[in-house]
A and B are shown apart, each in its own frame.
Chain A
Amino acid sequence: DGGITQSPKYLFRKEGQNVTLSCEQNLNHDAMYWYRQDPGQGLRLIYYSQIVNDFQKGDIAEGYSVSREKKESFPLTVTSAQKNPTAFYLCASNQGFTYEQYFGPGTRLTVT
């Protein structure tokens, strides 16, 4: 089945450690996105990539980094510079700007 996978579902880290969240899609979509969701709030865009080897900052990119070496993969690294990293992270993809974005199941990151 085509879709987006994110792993792991739950992730726990100590403060000061970098952590990488995985996002893989087999929908053959060119564009991929990372969003952050905090309790009781909507989604906010962290980074997006419209094509392989190219990515752009979203609204809240500070403390995060990404890579897009393959069309199928768009990993997100939460660095120790991110001041409040505990959140629910959602990856999405789509094909063309008119089309809806499809979302993965999300990763819930807890940093203590």
Chain B
Amino acid sequence: AQKVTQAQTEISVVEKEDVTLDCVYETRDTTYYLFWYKQPPSGELVFLIRRNSFDEQNEISGRYSWNFQKSTSSFNFTITASQVVDSAVYFCALRTSGGYNKLIFGAGTRLAVHP
């Protein structure tokens, strides 16, 4: 079975706090891709990052960083010094190598950053 679990339904923080969004995935494939998307109130999904299963290097992009750990099947997302504009729903997604180009989405984590 292939599945993505985002256990945190909602997170509320105060501006400038660091926040980590958890993502745990399940797949038996050895080749797969993981994604994070941001969905602001406007509704459009914005692509943030793609990571393939052979690249376990962590990545940092400005205030955003991602921690990929195959040993625990996790691909967590950290926002450093959060800002009000980070308020959105964040989705983690899995794409495996077999079959068509289907993304399996987690249920999403709603992040609210308060001034």
Contacts and interface: CB of A to CB of B under 8 A. Distances in A.
B66 interface: no
Contacts of A56: 100
Interface stretch (B11-19, B44-52, B57-65, B76-84): B44-52
Q: Does more than half of chain B's interface fall in helix, strand or loop, or is it mixed?
A: loop
B102 interface: yes
Interface residue tally on A, bucketed by range = 20 to 34
Contacts of B37: 103
Contact of A104 (B4, B35, B44, B97): B44
Contacts, number: 60
Interface in A55-112: 56, 58, 88, 90, 92, 94, 97-106, 108
Interface of B: 4, 9, 33, 35, 37, 42-47, 50, 52, 91, 95, 97, 100-103, 105-108
24 contacts: A40-B9, A41-B107, A42-B107, A42-B108, A43-B45, A45-B103, A48-B100, A56-B100, A97-B100, A97-B101, A98-B50, A99-B50, A100-B35, A100-B47, A100-B50, A101-B47, A101-B101, A101-B103, A102-B47, A103-B44, A103-B46, A103-B47, A105-B44, A106-B44
Interface of A: 31, 33, 40-45, 48, 50, 56, 58, 88, 90, 92, 94, 97-106, 108
